[in-house]
Amino acid sequence: MKESGEAMTTRTFLRTIGLLAAVFLAADARADSIWSALVLATNEQPSKPAPVDLKTFAGGLKTVFGYNTFYLLGAKQKQILKGGEVWIVPTKKVFLKVRCLDRTEVDYKVQLELYVRKKLVVTSEAKLARGAPLYIRGPSWGRGRLIFILEVR
């Protein structure tokens, strides 16, 4: 049995719409990840080179915080979805809870809770966007200062 040209066109059109809908739904469900690092910043003479994972951040960290040496204490990457909540635990003593309040095509509005030794130290809201890492100045630690870095990837 042969189909009419109109029936074939309608079927092709419906398949195309179905494929486009699947692509858009998959793109909407796609989530970015938040990469986080806990860094110990110190001033040492002579200064030491930044670890590989911190190379792209070293210049900004020096400018913003004034330290010349950075140690990576821990790093994690977690997927984030609108309305979701993730615990970013780079070490056993210092960790961060990130709750995604809203998401647009260019950024995430998040609520942050920083904990040190299971004690809530600070709560804040921030916007995270690709290519714009967020630095959070933490407490003094040993002979330096703790710094959190958050980056959407």
Per-residue pLDDT tens for 38-55?
999 999 999 999 999 999
61 shares a domain with 47: yes
36 shares a domain with 19: no
Mean pLDDT, each 10-residue run in order, the chain (153 residues): 57 49 44 87 96 95 96 90 83 86 91 91 93 91 92 90
Number of domains composing the chain? 2
At residue 46, the pLDDT reads: 96
Q: List C-alpha distances in Å: 138 to 67, 81, 122, 147.
A: 14, 26, 9, 5
53 shares a domain with 16: no
88 shares a domain with 37: yes
Predicted structure pTM score: 0.74
At residue 54, the pLDDT reads: 96
At residue 3, the pLDDT reads: 56
Q: Give the whole-number percent of the chain exceeding pLDDT 90.
A: 49
Alpha-carbon dihedral sign for residues 13, 19, 21, 23: negative
At residue 50, the pLDDT reads: 96
Q: List C-alpha distances in Å: 33 to 2, 48, 68, 100, 121.
A: 51, 29, 29, 11, 24
- Paired strand residues for 1: none
47's tokens:
């200064």
Report d(CA 107, CA 114) in Å as an integer. Answer: 21
42 shares a domain with 9: no
At residue 153, the pLDDT reads: 86
58 shares a domain with 10: no
142 shares a domain with 117: yes
48 shares a domain with 10: no
77's tokens:
């990457």
133 shares a domain with 90: yes
7 shares a domain with 54: no
Structural domain boundaries enclosing 9: 1-30
54 shares a domain with 123: yes
128 shares a domain with 80: yes
Distance of CA 61 to the CA centre of its chain: 17
